[in-house]
Structure 1
Amino acid sequence: MSTLILLTATGLGLAALYFLVASGLSLIFGLMDVLNFAHGAFVAVGGYAAWTVADHVAGTLGLALALPVAVAAGAALAALTELLIIRPLYARPLDQVLATVGLGLAIPALLQAVWGADPRTWTLPAWLAGTLDVLGARIPTVRFVLIAAALALLGALQLLLTRTRAGLIVRAGVENREMVAALGVDVHRAFTGVFALGGAAAGLAGLLDGLYQGSISPGDGTSLLIFAFVVVVLGRMGSLTGTAVAAAAVGLVQQFANYLSADLGDESVVILLAAVLLLRRRDLKGRPA
């Protein structure tokens, strides 16, 4: 029983991390039709920004200061990417892909040049480095922090998109950009805000990935991006609820498969993706294929 609880908690912690990365991807593509391959770089920048702060300020205070820094770093980089790279290419989707792929390769290389290729170790506060007893299973506290962060982000994004004026403007701008612009609304500013929001979620993921792994490396964001793309495909682009469910499925399947065999986890995710794509009769946005 304790093994089952431990595997489930670990799988949900991993799922929470995938959702934090995938939610930004899902928003940006679902609302703006931009396939952003530089999203993993936003994760890495957020992680290194947070680690730099925590490395200079120890303990819980350092972690508290690292949180807004990670979010701000991811949001700022994403907003600059939209303004300088994506905005001139809205009518050229293939060029968008090429530009974001290039950026996604360049930023980890820059991080490696500045901080080196070796992993940088996180020193966790005592309360976060411990474990909690759940029905006999000793589960690392950081797993619960990840799950709580993912649930909080899901709730906040749902409220923002459905209950606020800014969310309504973004959704209306996607449906009919010219009409919204005719009403005096700056659609471009709203789209920059969506990019910044996705980058903020990625920056948070960079911080939490460092806590989860115990270290950060320049290529961590790229590794997470692969599984995040799987999650958004399974959950359909633009659907935050679908993304959350898909993240839970991927995290649990991967963790239980790894328990059966160390080499089976990644393969099981690929098999799950292939099965869903073969059986699904709708496209990535839920429209009839």
Structure 2
Amino acid sequence: MSGLNAFQLLNGLTFAALLFIVASGFTLIFGLLRIVNLAHGALYLLGGYAAYATASASGSFLAGMLAAMLAVAVMGLVLDQGLLRFVRGHELRQVLLTLGVGLVLNDMMLVVFGGDTYTVPAPEFLRGALRFAGMFYPKYRLFVLVLGIVIFILLWLLLNRTRLGALIRAGVDDPETIEAMGINIRRIFLLTFMLGAALAGLGGAVGGAFLTLYPSADAEILVFSLAVVIIGGRGSLVGAAVGALMVGMLNTVGQVMFPEFAYFVIFGPMAAILAFRPLGLFGRTA
């Protein structure tokens, strides 16, 4: 493999890792909770701006990441309890409501931060590049790749190896039985929604350090997240990982080899997959 091809391969993998961090939150909310949250992109951008403001003021990238997750988790709490609880079970109403919330949040951030482009300051030890395989590659992008893998492992363990994960999955399939057992399934769903929102905030903090932050970034990341979840299958964490990998690599290939057809390279295969697998590669009906 030539140096250029290896470089582009790593670009695709690191972008896929970022997409997974964001889309994993979307999978929890859309796939498991059956909530169509089109404000997810705005939550990503909100997390990025929160991380930028905190990291710039404190000089700590870790503080920026934590602030982003906390701020967006609180916004998720407000969104779920203040608005979405009135439209549960009505997907069209959820679409319109969350789309409106996303537009309002985007306008508010535009007022506060303006139309300038911002970059979350990365820590000193993640700046620069590492030399391996005869090429130099940014340390920060490798950090994003590792972080994406760690997030996948932690979420898989949470959903498949803990009592909370079992309650979430059981509550989605049969909430009445879980309620009859004396468990407050609504509280569990709220915590899951906040976790999904926090992952969007984390994605904004991480992505803001190499993709930058600008007013339309929320729409772009939302489109990519939708593609990831649709390809991988609603409600599947493994599907989100595979979908993120496919979208990340197709996006990189499209930009390098077919720049004028970059979106077709992604959404063409997505349409073909859905023609044969309407529920996605790892989708399920319940």
Q: TM-score, normalised by structure 2?
A: 0.94
1:272 Cα deviation from its structure 2 partner: 1.4
Letter in 2 for 1:203: G
Contact kept? 1:206, 1:221, Cα under 8 Å? no
1:200 Cα deviation from its structure 2 partner: 1.0
Counterpart of 1:20 in structure 2 is 21
Q: Identity, % of aligned pairs?
A: 34
List per-residue Cα deviations over 1:181-208 (Å, max 9, x = no partner).
Answer: 1111111101101101101110110011
Q: Distance in 1 between matches of 2:77 and 2:128?
A: 37
1:30–1:165: structure 2 CA closer, same or farther, 3 Å change rule?
Answer: same
List per-residue Cα deviations over 1:6-63 (Å, max 9, x = no partner).
Answer: 00100011111111111111111221111110111111111111000111123xxx10
Contact kept? 1:254, 1:266, Cα under 8 Å? yes
Letter in 2 for 1:37: L
Residue 89 of structure 2 aligns to a residue whose secondary structure is coil
Contact kept? 1:231, 1:243, Cα under 8 Å? yes
1:183 to 181, 195, 210: 181
Counterpart of 1:53 in structure 2 is 54
Larger mean CA deviation between 26-35 and 8-17 belongs to 26-35
1:284 Cα deviation from its structure 2 partner: 8.2
1:261 Cα deviation from its structure 2 partner: 3.2
1:249 to 238, 246, 250: 246
1:218 Cα deviation from its structure 2 partner: 2.9
List per-residue Cα deviations over 1:187-244 (Å, max 9, x = no partner).
Answer: 110110110110111011001111122x312321221010110010000011111110
Query: Runs of 4+ in structure 1 displaced over 4 angstroms?
Result: 281-285
Asked if residue 224 in structure 1 is aligned to residue 221 in structure 2, the reply is yes
Residue 139 of structure 1 aligns to a residue whose secondary structure is strand
The number of residues matched between the two structures is 284
RMSD of Structure 2 on Structure 1 (CA): 1.6
Q: Distance in 2 between matches of 1:115 and 1:279?
A: 44
| Structure 2 unaligned blocks of 5 or more | none
Q: Distance in 1 between matches of 2:98 and 2:278?
A: 29
1:247 Cα deviation from its structure 2 partner: 0.7
1:268 Cα deviation from its structure 2 partner: 0.4
List per-residue Cα deviations over 1:49-82 (Å, max 9, x = no partner).
Answer: 1000111123xxx102111111111211112211
2:69 to 68, 71, 75: 71
Counterpart of 2:261 in structure 1 is 264
Counterpart of 1:274 in structure 2 is 271
1:177–1:57: structure 2 CA closer, same or farther, 3 Å change rule?
Answer: same
